[in-house]
Structure 1
Amino acid sequence: MHSTQDAPLLAPRQREDLVVRHLPVARSLAARYSGRGIEVDDLRQAARMGLVKAARRYDPTQGAFLSYAVPMAKGEVRRCFRDLSRCVRPQLVENDEDGSLVEQVGELDPGFDDAEARVMVGAALQELDETELLVLRLRYAEGLTQSEIGERIGATQAQVSRTLARILRRMRVAVAA
């Protein structure tokens, strides 16, 4: 989708602006992986490197920057863990003496997928304008109907419906990326 060949590359200043504007996303991604054996500063640096790589290769004609940058930043963070695991030699796990394998190794963190989803949704929300954020808040946080939202923002129910559909479509694309 985003190819370095034939892609209209951004000017250095535009790339720098993209990276600086999205540093909070890198911080959030790094925080998501903290406490797992790598210093949070190293994780932040890896996530920032992912943003820089994404900005270098980003083709604005192909969609929102975050849809491209978040997976790349996550890949850089995960690369840190892969690099660390190459240096660590796992010991043989004994099943009979110290209990079951799950007790020795630990269970999967059930919050892993939820945390990742929160990061992705948070990043997608940053791409919305004030009106779109207001419509989402009124609909999903306050539970207003489309007609009630329309009265509040000066739009028809049909306009609110189309706005919600457009927002949700953009959010799905951003989260799926």
Structure 2
Amino acid sequence: MATTISTGTTPQTTDLPEIRNPGEVAPKDAKELSKQFFDRLAVLEEGTAEYQYVRNTLIELNLSLVKYAATRFRNRSDQMEDIIQVGTIGLIKAIDRFDLSREVEFTTFAMPCVIGEIKRFFRDTSWSVHVPRRLQELRIDIARATDELFQRFDRSPTPAELAEHLGMEEEEILEGLVAANGYTAGSIDLPLDDSGDNSSETLGDRLGEPDRELEIVENVQALKPLIEQFDERDRRILKMRYVDEMTQSEIGAELGVSQMHVSRLLSRITARLREGLLAVE
């Protein structure tokens, strides 16, 4: 018996059974219904209203696969909504690629697609600092090898032992170990102890900061030999302007020259100092 399907424009008819709430269909029934819908999807033209209906119904019928796959990651309950969304993308990809002629159950074909999509999501988003995929995968290999060698040696293995076990160069292992530090990150404002005391010292309290006085010392040491190259008058002008903090007019009165002449002298002196500092750097 044909069922009328409203597409929002002109109703179309199809010989598929009507499913009012695909998400409420039992998994066993969904499996049988999916075969009928896949048969129909194979002969429909992509982009048509009926094609969209059949495809969307297949997605809703098989969302239970996504939810089942998501239970493998229940330890990440705070990300469960994202896991379901990403798993649904994997399901859609599986539906678009599935071929009934392969004589493989859709569930068998779809589960690796769904789980693979979820794992890719964790691989691409779980790292606090982005590192190349090669190093992400190397971190996993190093972690496995570390567990195996710890059981064998009853201690943590050295980079050289890890390299020999994995058949790699020690430099590659060291690179992987350094990259692994980017997997997780902690706030520098977290207390260093778990006492719950708000006054507890944080990591940020122990971090150093640039010493502003040290920069002054470096500049003085760099300027000193340059100033020694000036004649007595130029050194006197520098002292009056930047040590005694006299105005240009006051310096002009002291030297018996105009304020404009003092301005030109200061420009020439500072230009020489700037040129000398750049040459030193």
Q: TM-score, normalised by structure 2?
A: 0.27
Larger RCO (alpha carbons 8 Å, 6+ apart): 1
